[in-house]
């Protein structure tokens, strides 16, 4: 574990909304939201009224009647996000980018060139503001988890250094929601047993956390609560999975909603798998209900897949299984698909034409090969004429219209 605070976590503030205010100066200082039917991102002025990403547009307008909605300049998001990360690259080669607008950097090897970590962080913030016109917050700490929390505490447009020896004093008074891996559902479960701060989590018996969250999550959060985080930065790593999700608001759990949504999600995931020639064996779905509780299900296949309709059908079976086991839940708010156990260069084993019931879901069968061939034809058409040129049915495109694909792709990690 690091004994000095040399890890930086840099995070552009309210990135999408800040870019819109940069491109249109008349929006500066005003509450704005990127999106329409769904809030994709909100400025700090809008957040002051309770407006948040993922919120239905109608509710956002109720909370903030003066809210201004803007469409979204996706090419500028990518350009400015890349430029901000390039500033980090100018100080150290040890940079781990984790999304379009945030990254870790380890500056232990460059202090003799650029000064102490706090000076480097100050220089980065100054350059991003001067060269790009964007605010960026940076946390500096001995570990990745602590640096990320520090950057969140520093927001908006701030810098916070957590020196060795002060880690627990800083960490334990903070809310558990700042921890990596604590979402609304986990936060609610922890609140049920009286845990609201990281310190309270640290002092909770490990057995209670294991019973509440499961062994993996319980052990992980307990370690992070004591700042036990030995992870090093990973540069140039390849993703171990590919996924996509769709926030639905409040929709009935019926086939007319589920089938087109899963087909659209499968299209997004499978096209990325094919583009990188990395099919996967394990398919996982996540279903979130109206009360924000969520259930995941997965299946590991005999052969890796990357065909769109094949993935959609397998995901559909998993979702139906979830709904059958939770028959009282009639409303869903989110669906997600991910594929893991990716293979670099899978050898396709051809199947004999035995007339099996699941033949069309077998990559090596005649029907499976035909499905993959259709996908590759669609890929080529899209490469030449754009993604909207051809799809898997207008109903799938209608299901995704509230959130543009350009925005989704920026939020999804590349393989």
**CA separation (Å) from 236 to 81, 229, 415?**
17, 21, 11
Best CA proximity match to 134, nearest among 82, 74, 75: 82
- Binding residue per annotation — 405? no
Task: Please name the helix (run of DSSP H) or strand (run of DSSP E) that holds residue 161, with its range, or none.
Answer: strand 159-161
Cβ atoms of 268 and 387 within 8 Å: the answer is no
Angle, helices 184-192/206-213, rounded to nearest 10 degrees: 130
Task: Please name the helix (run of DSSP H) or strand (run of DSSP E) that holds residue 154, with its range, or none.
Answer: helix 144-154
Give the integer Cα–Cα distance in Å for 92 and 104. 11
CA atoms within 13 A on the CB side of 381: 12
Give the integer Cα–Cα distance in Å for 40 and 405. 12
Verify whether residue 102 is a known catalytic residue.
yes
CA 181 vs. chain centroid, Å, equals 11
241-252 vs 39-42, strand pairing mode: unpaired
Core vs surface per residue 246-277: b (16+ CB within 10 A) or e: bbbbebebeeebbbbbbbbbbbbbbbbbbeee
Residue tagged 């754009």 (tokens)? 386
- Binding residue per annotation — 101? yes
Catalytic residue among 20, 102, 313, 412: 102
Q: Which residues are annotated as a binding site?
A: 11, 101
Q: Which residues are annotated as a binding site for Mg(2+)?
A: 11, 101
Which residues are identified as catalytic? 102
């Amino acid at each position: 574990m690091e004994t000095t605070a040399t890890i930086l976590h840099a995070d552009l503030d309210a990135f999408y909304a800040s870019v819109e205010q940069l491109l249109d100066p008349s929006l500066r200082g005003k509450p704005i939201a990127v999106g329409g039917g769904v809030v994709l991102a909100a400025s700090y002025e809008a957040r002051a009224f309770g407006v948040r990403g993922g919120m239905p547009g109608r509710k956002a307008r109720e909370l903030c009647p003066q809210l201004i909605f803007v469409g979204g300049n996706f090419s500028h998001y990518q350009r400015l996000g890349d430029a901000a990360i390039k500033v980090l690259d100018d100080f150290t080669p040890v940079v781990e980018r984790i999304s379009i607008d945030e990254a870790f950097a380890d500056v232990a090897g460059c202090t003799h060139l650029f000064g102490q970590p706090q000076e480097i962080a100050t220089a980065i913030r100054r350059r991003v503001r001067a060269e790009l016109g964007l605010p960026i917050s940076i946390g500096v700490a001995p570990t990745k988890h602590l640096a990320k929390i520090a950057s969140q505490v520093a927001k908006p447009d701030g810098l916070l250094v957590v020196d060795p020896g002060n880690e627990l004093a800083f960490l334990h008074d903070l809310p558990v929601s700042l921890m990596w891996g604590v979402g609304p559902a986990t936060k609610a479960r922890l609140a049920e047993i009286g845990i609201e701060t990281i310190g309270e989590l640290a002092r909770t018996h490990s057995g209670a956390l294991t019973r509440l969250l499961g062994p993996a999550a319980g052990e992980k959060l307990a370690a992070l609560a004591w700042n036990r985080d030995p992870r090093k930065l990973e540069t140039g790593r390849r993703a171990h999975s590919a996924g996509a999700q769709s926030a639905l608001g409040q929709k009935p759990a019926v086939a007319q909603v589920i089938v087109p949504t899963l087909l659209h999600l499968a299209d997004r995931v499978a096209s990325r798998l094919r583009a990188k020639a990395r099919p996967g064996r394990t398919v996982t779905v996540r279903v979130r209900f109206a009360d924000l509780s969520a259930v995941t299900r997965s299946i590991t296949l005999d052969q890796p897949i990357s065909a769109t309709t094949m993935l959609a059908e397998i995901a559909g079976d998993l979702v139906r299984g979830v709904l059958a086991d939770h028959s009282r839940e009639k409303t869903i708010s989110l669906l997600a698909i991910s594929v893991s156990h990716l293979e670099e260069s899978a050898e396709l084993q051809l199947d004999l034409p035995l007339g099996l019931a699941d033949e069309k879901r077998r990559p090596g069968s005649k029907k499976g090969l035909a499905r993959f061939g259709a996908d590759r034809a669609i890929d080529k058409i899209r490469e030449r004429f754009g993604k909207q040129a051809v799809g898997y049915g207008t109903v799938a495109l209608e299901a995704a219209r509230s959130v543009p694909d350009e925005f989704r792709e920026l939020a999804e990690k590349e393989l």
